[in-house]
Structure 1
Amino acid sequence: MIKNPIYIILFLYNFCFGFQNKKTETDSISYYKENNDPIKAINFANKQANSSLKKRNFKKYCDLKYEQALLYESFNDVENAIKILFESRKIAEKNHLYDKLVDIHWKVGNLYTTSFEFQKAQSHLHKAKKNAEKLKDTVLLSKTHQGLCRYHGTVDSDSLKYYIDKVALYTKNSKDLKEKSKAYDNYVFYYNKLKKFDLAKEYAQKSIETALLTKDPVVIATAKVNAALIEMEGERNYKKAIEIYESVLKLFPNNENTKIVASCFLNASYAYEKIGDYKKALEYSNKYFELYDSMINGRIEKATREIETKYQLDKAALIFKEKENIIVEKQKRNQNISLLLAFLLLLSGLIFYFYYQNLVLKQKNKLKNIDNDLQFKIISATLDGQDQERNKISQVLHDNVSATLSSVGLHLSAFETSLSNEQREDLKKTRLLLKQAHDKVRDLSHELVSPLLVKFGLQFALSDLCEKNSNTLLKITYHSLIPNSKKFDIEFETKIYYIVSELINNIIKHSQATEAQLNVYEENDYFCFVLKDNGKGFENDSVHKTEGFGLTQIKARVKNMQGTVVIKSKKGEGTAIIIKVKE
């Protein structure tokens, strides 16, 4: 028991006010980015932006918010990037910062173009142009019109030429050689698209001459690759195209830019084939496949998947951190108020002590609730990352690898006519191996993502799932009260499919059932399904003890979809799982 509460009050006062804040080392956005700590980078940018706003340094505030948006964009989080830019737009508009409004609307327009929200993209790009015209700044005008070029090129608009001419006009006297080279590239793209190869070739030469002055290998490579494509498509001068591709490859001796190098290998292989040099064609084709294989089997795809999954986890952690900071700040404020009252009213010290202890207990309970919520969010974010990985790998296997294997088969057919009988036998074996590889890629693609789910929707995919897992030991029937013609959002359907798939796996592994039934229906605005089996079951009071990580994942996913999970079971009488999720 506390004998003298006044001593406690004095101790708390010294604890709260006696410490001097230690200076932390200077930090910055770039420092955290270099140390691969995006959460601290975003928090630092947000903290500095709020400080600048309080000091009425509105330009710095807009710059910091722009940096924060770029960080979100690097995670491919377009939604939060746009939200941050909209926050800074209010301040820029209120204080007539037209140069900042140009940057904000330009970036928002580009983000909407990337997200295929073309109407919104066009609106913001025109707002950026309007503000640049107010300032009469040729650099900003060139930037905004380049954004409009990209938009009109993406939507295949007739206005593309108008904006290309505008970019050329604004960069005519510019000292930025990269922008001038980009302006020439616009014309190359436009005239090549119209198959006016003479004009395309003229601008490609101008782009190369300007790019060489920049001494930037990526700018030079881009200009040269455009010129090589014209030589192949327009001039049919495959030898000249090969010379250009060889010069581009020398710019990246260690394959630093995989996208450009892979394109050069593939196109050079095609050009060598056209001039009859099949040995060289095969050599460059092998180089392309080696580079592409390295991207698929470890480096590029692995890095991309890690970034996507890490982003989902970081996002959940960031939400938790922000909530925790709010609670900590509230706790500090309440503590200071309580201490001040204690010194004014010493006689109320004991009451204050119990009040403070009660307050701390409440805060701990809040933190505990937030921590539990965070665990579910982390599991859900991980599952979303896995779904993205499945879809992305399946798409790469189906659209790229499978198509490439088919293309290789065609190339082998072209070679067959020039081979001897003995060589044809070897070629026949090669084509058999190629077909086996093609079939394995197709099967793996279908295992990762159900083709029925993508083509025909959730209803057919669930029916097929039940039929596919039925056998002589276990019969699974499917009944639906929802019309087969009704479709849901693809992300929603994918999540439901994997939930049902995991539940069926649990029945197969653990229930010892001989019959199971999946019933699907709608109730108000909820999608509902019941999965019953006649297995061994278990007592309801032991559900939490017996549920594994799979069931925990399902509960996390359903909770994130604003749904509920009810498990009814009894030993020897089977199990029923009822799940309802918001459509």
Structure 2
Amino acid sequence: MKTLSKIILILFLAIFFETLSNKKEVVFNTTSFHIKLNDSTLIKKLESIDSIYVEKKFDLALKNAFNLLDISKNKNKEVFFKTNYIIGNIFYETSSFKDGIKYFRNNVNNILENSIFLDKKGINYDNNFLLIQNYLRLGSSYHRLKERDTLKFYRDSTLYYYNKVIDFNSLDDNILDTKAVAYSNLSALYINDSLYDYAKNFANKSIEIHKSRNDKINHAAALGNLASIYLIEEDYNLAKKIYLEGLELIENNKSPKAVRFKASLYGNLSWAMYKLKDYKAYEFQEDSYVIKDELRDNEFRGIVKTINAKYDVNNAKKLVLKQEENKRLKDQRTFWIYGIGSLIIILSLLFWLNYYKLKQKNLGLQLSQSELIQHQNIEKIRSESQVRILNATIDGKESERKQIAETLHDSVSALLSSANLHLQATRSQFNGNTPIEIDKTQEIITEASQKIRDLSHTLVSSVLLKFGMEYALKDMADKYSNSKIKIDTNIGDTRRYHQNFEIKVYNIIQEFINNILKHSKAQNAMIEMHEIEGKLSFKIVDDGVGFDKTLITNKDGLGLNQIEARIQMMQGDFFIDSVKNNGTVINVLLPILEKEEINLV
């Protein structure tokens, strides 16, 4: 079961990259439509909202879109349709699928009902493309809801709207791209139902579209999806052949998109070859890592180039300042020579007057100093012992939580899934007259599986273990954000580190966020993280009520003492800047613990 879980994860990662390659499904750009709109002010507002949406500033985009929706309703139907579509997309991107469905469905009805924009065939080109985009989003929304809940209504609605997309009879490139996405999503739907023949059929249809348009990059991605189905069926030879075919299509393509697909295809190919006991698989896995490292290196070289350009200017400034400083020091030197000479004479007189008294007190001071040093050493040893005990206790808890989480996820969850599959297979033996006890048993197993997943994630973040710090922190921010507080993230160039190091950092940040939720009364918070010269730096900012820094040691309830002890044991630096009624800024800098490298002989 653990092997099957890994394969399914690879498959859905491939499908995810395929979806990303079709930006027309997600990002709506007003310039892609050919109808000339009369109201230039409305067009500019729509373009502005679209730009804000692309930048993922969803709250601002949604606010402006609602305003434009009211303005354009009776003035410009085309702007009204497109604004509806953006609002639906914002709800989709923020996982509010039911809210998004309402706007996509209203948009479909409005487009079909407003004959003023229809041609003789029933609808013009631009609205044809907008209509198919809304159908695709409706299918994808119900698809997401089906993943959360196994209601038959969600599955039927998913199929209905995907078929609406497929039924469009057009050779336009944009519409063909959208149909290719629908085929890929249908393939994923049938994979989840274990109907692999259907999944292959739709994956092949997606491949045919990309091949007919000579779109080698998306053709390679679609081949990767098809090969992943064969991985699930354990037909490793055929999977290997198809992965190689996809890699051949983009072998000489150096575009960022093609490079990302190469990394994914090399990674999946290495798994297929590993299962075939072809240990050249490790070379392909290394190729995947090299490509990802090259992408990071290119970004780093751009940063270095910028720094070097600024460095020459800074050197010139420093030279001028140094000359001015030397002149100032020369003028001061003469003054201080006379001043210091006079001061030495005065101090010498005072010294000899007090020498006798100081000599008498010397023995007493030495004794007091020895006692103070001993006391400081004892306190230091006690403090270090307490920190080590605390750190060992926290490490033990983290290790135990991780073991329990892995047992729940890999063993108990797998057993429940197996039981559910057996019950599903049993249904066919009743010829449609399935006992209600089987339905109820499946419902109980599904609920138990969900609770186990939730408990496993609570103990140790599965997102952290599988995908790393960036996705885990984004998941944390999304989980804790609500109507009272919005938590955002700004994650720079990070990578995978030693697993124990990632767990410790994640737990420290989670404790800070818990403190914000409990005590700060903040409306907004931000988690920032980036890597600086072998160290991991993160900053947490909120706009809450703040607190008096001088009273930190007395606020044990905030858990700051434990956090500081943990950071001290990790040889890191910890800074807090907080003023009452003016928010809090927390900075942490930690030496990175690299993940262990596996050396193959």
So what's the TM-score if we normalise by structure 1?
0.47
So what's the TM-score if we normalise by structure 2?
0.45
